[in-house]
Amino acid sequence: MQAIVFDEHGELDVLRHDEVPTPEPGPGEVRVAVEACSLNYHDVFTRRGMPGIRTPLPMIPGCDAAGVIDAVGDGVDGWSPGDAVLVDPVERTPDGRIRMIGDTKWGAYAEHVVVAASQLIARPEGISAIDASCLPVAYGTAHRMLFTRGQVTADDTVFVLGASGGVGTCCVLLAKLVGANVVAAAGSPEKCEALERLGADETVDYSTTDIAAFTRERTGSLFAGGGWDVVVNFTGGDTWAKTIKMVKMGGRLLTCGATIGYDPPTDLRFIWTAEMDIRGSNGWQRSDLESLLAMVGDGRLQPVVDRVLPLSDGVEAMRLLEERRFFGKLVIAP
């Protein structure tokens, strides 16, 4: 089969579009003909190599697969070739281990991907593979972070940093869906305009505006009720200490990642003075994916797709992701 593959960790030049053996499903597994795979920043981390995670090589990236079952292994009940599916990227084994496609198992920048039958979710008629492929990693994580961990409601003003990417655009959409007021920060005027079209109540271009000063200006001093109820920061690095200063008294600072640095300087004085909650959120549960599919199915949620590229342009797709030349989700359609 055709796939995007790498044999060693590194930058973009380790990726190649190549022919690899088509994987066969073992007992309890199925093979999915991939119709769409959306990209995530996680794919960049996997390609570069992440401390603490051993990636078997060669590796095919790609965590978010939607398609049609084309082969079924022994002992699989209830699934047949031709069934339209969305794949939950994570396999939770009975002995408590977690394995993820595009991370510790071959992923879906490929014509086929083999997954455990337990990872399958039926894809309702009317939900395209492209829309479905946007959901698991980015949207699933945003859903859990905002609602299960963040308890965001219509009473909140939510500030989203990194709002133009996969997790970020979904945070904007979901926070608006529950009626929250949303302030979205992105790295260019064009991305800010796109966020306004998506429904953000206000935007700020953080490449030209200091977001902590912007917060003080818009909401007043922290000691006089200023700051946002909820601040979302999965960028980390030097943005962390800034966002610590933007949380209202008793507010929540939510994080699910660290795109530019996981051990940033912080400012403890603001954490205790504002009595803020810093809430981590990791991944999604199956119920998050089912809720999201239902929202797409009844039209409440429309995933934001920047563009769809053929598998042969998979390396180019990852370049667009890393160079931040996209809005929402990039999708590969093998």
Residues that bind ligand NAP in the complex, under the rule CB under 6 A: 40-42, 45, 137-138, 141, 162, 164-168, 186-187, 191, 234-235, 256-260, 282-283, 321, 324
Q: Supply the minimum distance, in Å, between the C-beta of residue 232 and ligand NAP.
A: 10
Q: Supply the minimum distance, in Å, between the C-beta of residue 99 and ligand NAP.
A: 15
Among the listed residues 277, 273, 236, 225, the one whose alpha carbon sits nearest the alpha carbon of residue 258: 236
Q: Supply the minimum distance, in Å, between the C-beta of residue 124 and ligand NAP.
A: 24
Q: Supply the minimum distance, in Å, between the C-beta of residue 134 and ligand NAP.
A: 11
Cα(297)–Cα(291) distance, rounded to whole angstroms? 10
Joined together, the tokens standing for residue 150 give 């963040």
Cα(305)–Cα(26) distance, rounded to whole angstroms? 33
Cα(156)–Cα(215) distance, rounded to whole angstroms? 15
Nearer to ligand NAP, 219 or 239 (CB): 239
Nearer to ligand NAP, 22 or 104 (CB): 104
Burial class (CB in 10 A: 0-12, 13-18, 19+), 159: buried
Nearer to ligand NAP, 251 or 257 (CB): 257
Cα(315)–Cα(176) distance, rounded to whole angstroms? 34
Nearer to ligand NAP, 76 or 173 (CB): 173
Among the listed residues 137, 134, 170, the one whose alpha carbon sits nearest the alpha carbon of residue 152: 170
Which residue number has the CB closest to ligand NAP?
165
Nearer to ligand NAP, 165 or 303 (CB): 165
Three-state DSSP state, 47: helix
Burial class (CB in 10 A: 0-12, 13-18, 19+), 141: buried
Residue 137 and residue 64 in contact, taking contact as beta carbons nearer than 8 Å: yes
Q: Supply the minimum distance, in Å, between the C-beta of residue 168 and ligand NAP.
A: 6
Q: Measured in whole angstroms, how far is the alpha carbon of residue 111 from the centre of its chain?
A: 22
Nearer to ligand NAP, 117 or 256 (CB): 256
Start-to-end CA span in the chain (Å):
10
Nearer to ligand NAP, 191 or 245 (CB): 191
Nearer to ligand NAP, 42 or 248 (CB): 42
Nearer to ligand NAP, 260 or 294 (CB): 260
Residues in Cβ contact with 259 at an 8 Å cutoff, skipping those fewer than 6 apart: 41, 162, 234, 235, 236, 237
Q: Within a 10 A sphere around the Cβ of 257, how many other Cβ atoms?
A: 20
Q: Where are the beta strands (DSSP E) in the chain?
A: 2-6, 15-19, 29-38, 64-72, 84-87, 90-92, 98-100, 112-116, 120-122, 157-161, 181-186, 202-205, 228-232, 247-255, 277-280, 305-310, 329-333
